[in-house]
Structure 1
């Protein structure tokens, strides 16, 4: 599976499959066909079968998919059976909103600390965290085996923070800063640009008029 060149389009559909299958389990639905899943999720039945066949044969002809087993297997494909230690950098409005989200821990992402460079923010309590001085970033990452940094800071200075994180072994960056970061090839960056997403919505609304 790891040697296959699976497209990012397929990979980006996997979390949606995982979410919908979780909803089905909450309703105590244990079996579903690709056609029934298509009606719920919005992808064609053929697309669903093609996507899942990238990772092995999960369905049975005449039976469909075992919802619990498929949900579990997609979770493993997404790495949700692993545990990740994370830090959040930037304790402004966006950082605080993310820090207050309770779903990370259930998915295996343990936020260990919040950091900020603003002296007025340092020492404040947000949820269960005291905001730490970003000057202590490197020591904390090394001492706590941090895997992921969630970046919620302005673009000015973001690259410098990332360079510091890379130097102490960070593996992944969830980037909300409006900047394309330069990192080594072995560092994974997932960009979340709120403005670009909003502009896409604006375009689609304009085209729908």
Structure 2
């Protein structure tokens, strides 16, 4: 695999933030930026940014910095955003509907094909042209439409069962919002988004800040 196979997850998790800020710079018609200016925007050190980007090749020019448009384009390629990913959501409750409604995913190439749910009152409804289908049809739909990514927004109790169905149907990537860690085969990638863990981290930081303020 070469050099890229050794890139740490810590570096990979910083790339989307660079990509987002570069997109905002493009919207403001900014043509170039130095690593120091990018540092002030992102909160990472200039040295860290240069090291991160050097994992994927030399993008900057000494005395010039980075070409914003070109770096944004190259990071998009590194993140795999140059293609369209067929995506479905399982669980059409408030969270599933909110994700389906967010148009930013569509703009970056994540095409929401359908939502799935067990609730008969929801099945057949359309949210922004995306139909809510019966979860019983999930596996057939995935195979017929060659779905790339499955988003799980179900209760914890059924999330593993849903994950098993997604994997069995050929899906290789799962975005999991259920508050549990899924068990899947090694050829399937899972990104867990545990909202409660994020909130508990915020709670800790707030507690420490209040303690410091009282000293």
Into which bin does the TM-score normalised by the smaller protein fall?
over 0.9
Q: Deviations over 1:26-84 (max 9, x none)?
A: 11111111111111211111011011011111001111110100000000000000111
**Structure 1 residue ranges, 4+ long, deviating more than 2 angstroms after superposition:** 1-4
* Pairing of 1:79-98 with structure 2 (within 5 A): 79-98=80-99
Q: Tell me what 1:73 maps to.
A: 74
TM-superposed deviation, 1:119: 1.6
Q: Tell me what 2:133 maps to.
A: 132
Compare the two structures and name the one with the higher helix fraction: 2
Q: Tell me what 1:175 maps to.
A: 176
Q: Give ranges in structure 2 of 5+ residues lacking alignment.
A: 211-215
Q: Tell me what 1:153 maps to.
A: 154
Q: Structure 2-normalised TM-score?
A: 0.95
| SS of residue matched to 2:157 | coil
Q: Is the Cα–Cα contact under 8 Å of residues 4 and 56 in structure 2 kept in the other structure?
A: no
TM-superposed deviation, 1:133: 0.2
Separation in 1 of the partners of 2:48 and 2:139? 44
- Cα pair distance change 1:190/1:82, threshold 3 Å: same
TM-superposed deviation, 1:126: 1.6
- Cα pair distance change 1:142/1:2, threshold 3 Å: farther
Q: Give ranges in structure 1 of 5+ residues lacking alignment.
A: none
| SS of residue matched to 1:85 | strand
Q: Tell me what 2:193 maps to.
A: 192
| SS of residue matched to 2:111 | strand
* 1:109 and 2:110 are equivalent in the alignment: yes
Q: Structure 1-normalised TM-score?
A: 0.97
TM-superposed deviation, 1:123: 1.5
Separation in 2 of the partners of 1:4 and 1:165? 26
